Structure 1
Amino acid sequence: MDKLKRIANKKNKLGFYQQHMLNPMNLKNNLSEFIYLFLTISIFIICTSDCLIGQEKIVESKDTSNVVQEIKDYSEKDNFFSKILKSIIVIDDEQQSGITLPDPDKKIIKKFTGKIIRKINIEILDVFGASVNNPKDTVRSWLQDVGNTLHINTKEWLIKNKLIFFEGQIFIPFYILESERIIRESPYIYDVRIIPKPIENTVDSVDIMVYVQDIWSLNGSASYSPGNKTGRVSIDDINFLGYGNRFYGGLNFDRKLTQGWDWDGRYTFDNIARTFLSGNIYYASDVYSEQYGVSVGRDFFSQIISWAGGLEQRWQNTRYPEILNTSGLIETVRFNQQDYWLGYAFNLRQIDSSEENKNAFNISGRITRNVYSQKPRKDTLNLFQDNTFYLGRIGYSNRKYHQDHYIFGLGKTEDIPLVHMITFLYGYEVGSNSSRPYYGLKTGYSFHNYPLGYFYGGFQIGAFRSNQKWLNLTYILEVMYFSNLNVVGKWKWRHYIGSRYSYRYDPIRPHDILNINNEGGIRGFSDNYLKGAKKLVLNYEVDIFAPFQLLGFKLAFITFADLGLISSNNNTLFTSKLYQGYGIGFRIKNEHLIFPAFQFMFGFYPNTSQEDGKKFNAFHQNVTYYHFNKSKVSIPTIVTIE
């Protein structure tokens, strides 16, 4: 036994594999605005959190519970319409058949610490029907049976290659929980559960059971516009033949194209040779551009790894309609780009292999080289010069995850990152006409408080320095708050509050570029003439999750209120017009399918910048408005406004 532990300990120790020149007055004004905004936003969130949420409590509501129960009771009757209703509607909390597995919480898992992992068993569940908590459920509709028959399951060895523990190793609880998160992060996996199982008549060993459920990975689309006679057909499989690789292909039809059609495609390799490296081969072409390239790399997907990095080679040909030569023809720009980066993570103290082995400090470097083989004849701003950009990063990041539901999804398990991080950036751009250094700072802090919810605060600032001027000066202050989940009967809801102050200016190109359109600030709002150098937006949303599903599609009702201020660099932000947006809508999605969530919204905008501006707008979104994973340690980048 001691010999086995020494061997296992050895295995554990091996590890895994482009603003304005700042005069003193401008600087003073900007800093005053910044400090005022920070204090105001912080006080607002603290003062409103209590009246919005409170604890994650369950309140019994007879009215809503009775309605749901009446629907369920009617579906059980012996008539034609009841049978139809029962086949398409499922009440979320109804008891399923089969054996429900006990919850392997951290306390239970820790009981197996120090034992030797004897055997690892993998079971891939059908896409529809069973679940990782109820793997033996056999109750399915005929439609689910058809879907399961057509779907190609993920290969068992592929899942085993994503585990960060091996047979013959000592059981470490953190490795079990981290393996679950890593597998669940795969785009083709719906959920995963890893359960240690004691062995009869053996006290020093343990078996591991891994239950994994795929999602339906195949997607496609087709569209045609009779007016301009254009169309597109595409197919996308994120788990091609069950190997975890992604295949995407599309055809574009357009009379403006030379041969009348063009194509784009991509193939992505997942976890190459169990190194967690991913590779890409891609090609894309349309009326104005063509690009193709290859890439390979991995980020710091877990804090137990020490090395990360990647490389990419890209070629691009772009035709710019706004750049005309002396003959009045559209100019073509051709260039190729090489991008390389390497990072190393480490800890300053020795950690015993039985603890959570986290590498909190990281240092990374990146080299990006652009070489132009064809440039516009007139380039007075030197936008298209050959250049090499060196960027270095050193920082601290302590990251853990909180498991939850109904945050960005509609019920599936979600791993919410809670991060304390600070990163310092220094870069140097060497161009054929000029060179300049870059300085940057990124910080982020997020945490979960049980009575209140999730909190995030972040600050970023970065700029180039040339001829005593700060160029491309960008800074961002952001705070977010997500409440805990509230429950009344079988209905659930959650509140979301977010605010962001953004500033960007460049004396060489002093035109305003920021806007408050759609995801830039006010949802459904659109005014391409309203731009500025600084903006402040405040967003509020409440999502109400319905307790039923239709053919596996779950529903959430949405109410939102957005406020925005925007001004040029020479004006004070708080004297500008307050733009507003209020609306309602719904989100629907089957989380067992690759198809994105469909979100339809109806908004009211009481004031616009133009007299003929739209007061009402119906629109849809395919992306979640809020993002919480803002501190992932990956390839070094300069500060940009999304």
Structure 2
Amino acid sequence: MVFLLGNLLHATGQRITKSDTLIEKKQQLQLYKHTSIISRDTIVFLLDTVGEKRHKNNSKNASKFYNSLKQGANKRKFTKELYNLFFISPDKLNPTDTIKTERSETAFVQYQGKTIRNITVRVLEPFGPTLYDTTQIATTWIETTGNKLHNTSRKNHLRKLLRINEGDAVDPYNLADNERLIRQLSYIKDAYFRVVPVYGSHKLVDLQLWVKDQFSWGANMKIGSLTSTDFEIYSRNLYGLGHEFSNSIEIDTEKDQKYGYTGKYKIRNIRKSFIDASFTYQNTYEKSVLQLDLDRSFATYNTKYAGGFTLSKTMRSDEIQKDDPIINEIPLDFNYGNVWFGRSYKVESGKLFARRKLYLAGRISSRKFYERPEVGATLNQFFHNNTHYLASLSLSQIQYYKSNLIYNFGRTEDIPYGSLAQITMGYEDREYSHRNYLGFDFQKAIYLRQSRTYFFNRLAIGGYFNSKRFEQGVLLGQSKFFSRIRNLGPLRLRNFADLKYTLGIRRFPEEFISLISDTGIRGFSKEDVIGTQKLVLNLETVAFTPYTLGGFRFAFYTFADMGFIGSNQKNILKEKFYYGLGFGIRLRNENLVFKTIQLRLAFYPKAPSDFNQFEYQISGEERPKFSNFSVTQPDVVPFE
């Protein structure tokens, strides 16, 4: 039936995808003995089940349970309201692994070269209608109130974000890139283009952008201990213009400065220049900072120019930047400035849908200290005043698949695969010396069709040449993986793995790396477990469920993190070994801009004697991001 409906819509010139089809005029579709009337502005969801085995018995059992529960709840108004608030039928969720079924350009290829006559935008409210069914309405008082409080994304704002104009020829690459960019906005749940042929013309088409908003206000709380709490309230879409504003308060009664504040404001796409501006003010026990950022990225395949500018004043901090490879107890006071510019050139590729480009970029950055540890020619070299001049030459080839249930809870995810080869050269003017920099970075992601698994691999090496001596070098190797979706009753299971090796080569004496959470073992906060070489393996299994609580979807996860760390003089497998085991719950409502709420319990059987073997945390986590082979400002290979 799905196949016949797809052929019929394709024959009428409609766009047919794995997930949805819009039909503007009423059409009567005769499918064998079944007739369906599809009304105007209705999206029909066609479930892609290619290569997936249905577990019919499990589906029937789950449907019976939910149907009986729903029938009982509908007998009273109060219980009906509770049911609508807390439960979603598995039939409406039915997530599948679609990574192999559709590349991002597929739906637009048949219209290539045709002229865009009109571009229209339609924005759906956060609660009620979906891109799969626009006839749904908000039913609970929470949903209706949320829609009233929400600032709907302004259509004109979304139009200005597009790199497409009326009168342009249809370019499948450009349409797919623009669709992806709108979908990745922090205040958009999902988005897609529909190309509509103009009646009576073989050369003209109309372009429709359908957008599903997220409720733009959010809050986040992180409880690390009984004496430490962080609270944040933010908006990702002020006035419906995409402006972002956040306010964060930190409380730690064990610190000298018990209260701290961080405020950020971001303006998107200033005067349709595609330049974003953000301003940050921070005054916490960790640091006091003022910072201004301007940024224009290589956002689409057709973007020729990119660049950025940063100016910051740090009045007090124990580190230069987050996860610095140093241990420092003296408050720092310094200024930092950075500017970069890049140009891209299209390169023909023999692969279908492959975006291949050559990039040239240059960067100048400078840091000047006013308060710092005592320095000398060979003393505390990490804190020397310096000016960096860097240039890079990069060749990138990117393609995209669409999928779901990877890092999110059902929304469309764009999975990049391809490669990036980059060489970076530069010169550093230091306070007591001058030296040259040379670095290589190669990244590649592949999709194995037979097993439906995804691998990302990276190998990078870089360092400085000071009077022909190689110093402050780093060798980095990484391999990341996620598996296909597997069914276990109503659950959908996916496995993740991340293996990373870092080797420091003739680093400065004050430089170290550690196993703290972001770059090692999650929840591990022992900062004096350090070295110049480490090997870390992070394993995780996530079980996506069909259950909801107040509109929040549930996912359970278990993890095992292991790490070796020590000097660079011995085999890494003979160095100190630590590991952590744990499990947790993640909750996310894709209609809200709230961060993923995470409850984690962890156990560290092998840990330093003065470290608590049990750890718990309630926090809000940002969505993980794919390594997408995008080219940004030239930089050195990180030592982390």
TM-score range, shorter chain: 0.7 to 0.9
Question: Contact 1:75 / 1:85 at 8 angstroms: preserved in 2?
Answer: no
**2:85 corresponds to:** 88
For residues 205-247 of structure 1, the C-alpha deviation after alignment (integer angstroms, 9 at most, x for no partner) is 221221111111112468999998x987653211111111112
1:405–1:126 Cα change, 3 Å: same
1:253–1:481 Cα change, 3 Å: closer
2:134 partner amino acid? P
1:618–1:72 Cα change, 3 Å: farther
Alignment match of 2:68 (pick from 53, 70, 73): 73
| CA shift for structure 1 position 106 | 5.5
Question: Contact 2:596 / 2:623 at 8 angstroms: preserved in 1?
Answer: no
How does 1:433-582 map onto structure 2 within 5 Å?
433-452=432-451, 453-506=453-506, 508-509=508-509, 513-582=512-581
| More divergent stretch after superposition (372-381 vs 523-532) | 372-381
1:618 aligns with 2:613: no
Give unmatched runs, 5+ long, in structure 1: 1-54, 97-102, 322-329
| CA shift for structure 1 position 136 | 3.1
1:313–1:542 Cα change, 3 Å: same
**2:5 corresponds to:** none
**1:277 corresponds to:** 275
2:266 partner amino acid? T
Cα separation, 1, equivalents of 2:124 and 2:593: 17
Question: Contact 1:306 / 1:359 at 8 angstroms: preserved in 2?
Answer: no
1:614–1:61 Cα change, 3 Å: farther
Q: Which has the higher contact order (CA 8 A, sep 6+)?
A: 1
Cα separation, 2, equivalents of 1:223 and 1:250: 11
Alignment match of 2:298 (pick from 297, 300, 305): 300
| More divergent stretch after superposition (528-537 vs 272-281) | 528-537
Cα separation, 2, equivalents of 1:85 and 1:259: 44
1:332–1:492 Cα change, 3 Å: closer
1:107–1:463 Cα change, 3 Å: closer
Cα separation, 2, equivalents of 1:507 and 1:225: 33
How does 1:95-114 map onto structure 2 within 5 Å?
109-114=108-113
1:474–1:244 Cα change, 3 Å: same
Question: Contact 1:558 / 1:586 at 8 angstroms: preserved in 2?
Answer: yes
Cα separation, 2, equivalents of 1:555 and 1:319: 38
1:428 partner amino acid? Y
Question: Contact 2:105 / 2:173 at 8 angstroms: preserved in 1?
Answer: no
1:135 aligns with 2:134: yes
2:497 partner amino acid? I
1:285–1:587 Cα change, 3 Å: same
**2:412 corresponds to:** 413
**1:242 corresponds to:** 240
For residues 403-451 of structure 1, the C-alpha deviation after alignment (integer angstroms, 9 at most, x for no partner) is 1100101111111111311101112110232111111111100022233
Cα separation, 2, equivalents of 1:294 and 1:300: 20
1:109–1:440 Cα change, 3 Å: closer
Cα separation, 2, equivalents of 1:521 and 1:231: 23
Cα separation, 2, equivalents of 1:260 and 1:517: 23
Cα separation, 2, equivalents of 1:494 and 1:411: 13
Question: Contact 2:490 / 2:546 at 8 angstroms: preserved in 1?
Answer: yes
For residues 120-176 of structure 1, the C-alpha deviation after alignment (integer angstroms, 9 at most, x for no partner) is 111111011111222232253221111001001111011111222221222233322
Cα separation, 1, equivalents of 2:317 and 2:556: 43
Cα separation, 2, equivalents of 1:625 and 1:263: 23
| CA shift for structure 1 position 641 | 3.6
| CA shift for structure 1 position 624 | 6.7
1:360 is paired with a residue of what secondary structure? strand
Cα separation, 1, equivalents of 2:158 and 2:164: 12
1:469–1:617 Cα change, 3 Å: same
Alignment match of 2:308 (pick from 299, 310, 314): 310
| CA shift for structure 1 position 282 | 2.4
User: TM-score if structure 2 supplies the norm length?
Assistant: 0.80
For residues 287-340 of structure 1, the C-alpha deviation after alignment (integer angstroms, 9 at most, x for no partner) is 46422132212121122211111112222212659xxxxxxxx96643322211
| CA shift for structure 1 position 483 | 1.0
Aligned-pair Cα RMSD in Å: 3.4
Cα separation, 2, equivalents of 1:518 and 1:591: 26
1:600 aligns with 2:599: yes
1:427 partner amino acid? G
**2:365 corresponds to:** 368
**2:263 corresponds to:** 265
Cα separation, 2, equivalents of 1:605 and 1:403: 37
Cα separation, 2, equivalents of 1:88 and 1:449: 40
1:288–1:523 Cα change, 3 Å: closer
| More divergent stretch after superposition (385-394 vs 627-636) | 627-636
| CA shift for structure 1 position 456 | 0.9
| CA shift for structure 1 position 539 | 2.2
How does 1:44-443 map onto structure 2 within 5 Å?
57-60=52-55, 62=57, 65-67=60-62, 69-77=64-72, 78-80=74-76, 82-94=79-91, 109-220=108-219, 234-250=232-248, 263-287=261-285, 289-318=287-316, 333-348=332-347, 358=355, 360-373=357-370, 380-443=379-442
| CA shift for structure 1 position 115 | 2.5
Cα separation, 1, equivalents of 2:335 and 2:269: 27
Cα separation, 2, equivalents of 1:461 and 1:104: 32
| More divergent stretch after superposition (564-573 vs 148-157) | 564-573
| CA shift for structure 1 position 254 | 8.6
Question: Contact 1:192 / 1:211 at 8 angstroms: preserved in 2?
Answer: yes
Cα separation, 2, equivalents of 1:432 and 1:577: 36
| CA shift for structure 1 position 260 | 9.2
Cα separation, 2, equivalents of 1:625 and 1:562: 19
Cα separation, 2, equivalents of 1:416 and 1:395: 21
For residues 482-537 of structure 1, the C-alpha deviation after alignment (integer angstroms, 9 at most, x for no partner) is 112223454311111221111124454166x2223333333334433422221212
Cα separation, 1, equivalents of 2:605 and 2:248: 41
Question: Contact 1:56 / 1:451 at 8 angstroms: preserved in 2?
Answer: no
Cα separation, 1, equivalents of 2:361 and 2:578: 41
| CA shift for structure 1 position 627 | 4.7
1:71 partner amino acid? Y
1:566 partner amino acid? I
Question: Contact 1:76 / 1:82 at 8 angstroms: preserved in 2?
Answer: no
Aligned residues: 568
Give unmatched runs, 5+ long, in structure 2: 1-49, 94-101, 320-328
| CA shift for structure 1 position 281 | 2.2
Cα separation, 1, equivalents of 2:225 and 2:92: 50
Cα separation, 2, equivalents of 1:218 and 1:251: 17
| CA shift for structure 1 position 108 | 5.1
1:458–1:347 Cα change, 3 Å: same
**1:99 corresponds to:** none
Question: Contact 1:585 / 1:601 at 8 angstroms: preserved in 2?
Answer: yes
Question: Contact 2:220 / 2:620 at 8 angstroms: preserved in 1?
Answer: no
1:147 is paired with a residue of what secondary structure? helix
1:171–1:218 Cα change, 3 Å: same
Question: Contact 1:399 / 1:417 at 8 angstroms: preserved in 2?
Answer: yes
| CA shift for structure 1 position 344 | 0.9
Cα separation, 2, equivalents of 1:233 and 1:600: 16
2:268 partner amino acid? D
Cα separation, 1, equivalents of 2:538 and 2:224: 35
Cα separation, 2, equivalents of 1:290 and 1:137: 48
User: TM-score if structure 1 supplies the norm length?
Assistant: 0.80
1:301 is paired with a residue of what secondary structure? coil
2:66 partner amino acid? I
Question: Contact 1:59 / 1:487 at 8 angstroms: preserved in 2?
Answer: no
